[in-house]
Every structure is written in C-alpha cells, then in structure tokens.
C-alpha cells in the first residue's frame, strides 16, 4: 500500500471518529447550559482528504464564559479549621 493510500485511510478513520464525537460535544455543552453557564459550540469543519486537513484545524469544541468574583482578605488562614469568619454556605 502506498503512503498516500495509508494517509487517506487514516484520514477516513479520523473523520469517522470526529463524527462519532459530536454527541459528546453537545452533552458537555448541555452540562454547562444546565448550570447556567454561557456556552458556545464551535462549528465543525471537515477536510475532504488528507492533503487539505491542515485547513480545517480548530481551537476547541466549546467555549464557556463565566464571571468569577474575587475578594481579598485581611486575615490569614490555612483551612476551614482556622477560618476567621464562621460557617460558609455555598
């Protein structure tokens, strides 16, 4: 078998696996959505063959956006046993 034939066979297998991963992407997006976290699903781009595969790379499947509130404290502590402000409810 020629190298190009092997590359095309491997590429076809990659595309099959890519298609099979689609439900997992949506399941993960729903997880964040259900938690109230904004989520965007990146569009999927598939190459027609091995030679143009690099024109179809991406930076990930999902993007999430979540606000994080940060506060500084004027007291030192190591864990819950010496937390100076009482019980914390989450």
pLDDT at 1: 55
Per-residue pLDDT of the chain (90 residues; tens, 9 = 90+): 579 888 888 888 988 988 888 899 999 999 999 999 999 999 888 888 888 888 878 888 999 988 888 888 888 888 888 888 877 776
Residue at 86 is within a domain = no
User: What is the spatial distance between Cα 70 and Cα 37, in angstroms, rounded to a whole number?
Assistant: 18
Q: What φ, ψ does residue 7 adopt, rounded to 5°?
A: -60, -45
The whole domain housing 63 covers 3-67
Domain membership of residue 85 (yes or no) is: no
pLDDT recorded at residue 33? 94
Q: Which of 61, 21, 64, 19 is nearest to 43 (CA)?
A: 61
Query: Which pLDDT does position 49 carry in this prediction?
Result: 82
22: in domain:
yes
In a domain, 42, yes or no: yes
The domain tally of the chain equals 1
Query: 24 lies in a domain?
Result: yes
Q: In the prediction, which pLDDT does 4 show?
A: 85
Domain contains 77: no
Q: Is the residue at 83 inside a domain?
A: no
């Amino acid at each position: 078998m020629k190298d190009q034939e092997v590359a095309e066979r491997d590429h076809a297998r990659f595309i099959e696996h890519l298609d099979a991963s689609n439900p997992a992407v949506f399941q993960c997006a729903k997880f964040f959505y259900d938690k109230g976290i904004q989520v965007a699903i990146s569009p999927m781009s598939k190459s027609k063959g091995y030679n143009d595969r690099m024109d179809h790379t991406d930076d990930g499947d999902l993007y999430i956006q979540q606000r994080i509130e940060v506060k500084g404290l004027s007291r030192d502590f190591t864990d819950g046993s010496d937390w100076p402000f009482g019980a914390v409810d989450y």
